[in-house]
Amino acid sequence: MKILLLEDDFSLNRAIEQHLSSMGYFITSCYRGEDAIERLIHSRFDLCIFDIHLPDIDGHTVLEHLRNNKIETPVIIMSAMKDIETIKNSYTLGCDDYLKKPFDIEELTVRIDYLLNRSSSPKGVVLKHGFLFQTDSATLSKNGVEIELSSRERLALSLFVNNIGKTVSTSMMQEYVWDGEEVETVTIRSLIHKVKAKLKSGMIVNIRGVGYKLLE
């Protein structure tokens, strides 16, 4: 699962990033609102965490950009502001949860788990030929034995499982796995080849000229 973290306090940003990374989440950290918007334009995330007060534009503006562009990614607002008007405005703009600072990082974890479980597919997805993919930890196993995956392989397989039976285009792969960075087609093909090698032959098929599909 990919999370976009927008927090200008370096120490808090690092603490949250390290904690969530240790739990298996892929974290993209930003310290400025404009940087977060740039990331949102070029990549896809499963959840966003925004602070309100930032050096440039505030978290509410970033949230508004998200919703105005019809992006329904769950958003947690975290802020030291505890007045009812700020909280009400956050929900009006489209946030899914509001966390008051200071907070216990375990409380943030509970809220993240709830929102991701609410908006995603079941945690354990049974694939063909006895494979099991855990969406919360992005781990693959067969007959109870975990299969080693690189970080990019986990992201790619997460994308396939979330779109099982549907075609995943190379542009979708680029946005989700490489955060929208320009990558050569041969690099994407190489990653797909590695993911296929972890599964049974024929589970991921090439849709000529369009992309790839994980068969149901």
Phi-psi region of 211 (alpha: psi -120 to 50; beta: other; left: phi over 0): left
Residue 78 near residue 108, CB atoms below 8 Å: yes
CATH of domain 2-119: 3.40.50.2300
Instruction: Please say if the pLDDT value at position 70 is more than 80.
Output: yes
Put simply, whether the predicted model's pTM sits higher than 0.85 gets the answer no
Q: Classify each residue of 102-126 as buried b or exposed e, where b means 16 or more C-beta atoms within 10 Å of its C-beta.
A: eeeeeebeebbeebbeeebeeeeee
**DSSP-derived pairing of the beta strands 211-214 and 167-169:** antiparallel
pLDDT digits (tens, 9 = 90+) for 6-36: 999 999 999 999 999 988 888 999 999 999 9
Instruction: Please say if the pLDDT value at position 122 is more than 60.
Output: no
The domain ranges of the chain are 2-119, 124-214
The mean pLDDT of 69-74, rounded to a whole number, is 90
124-214 placed in CATH 3.30.70.1520: no
The mean pLDDT of 186-201, rounded to a whole number, is 93
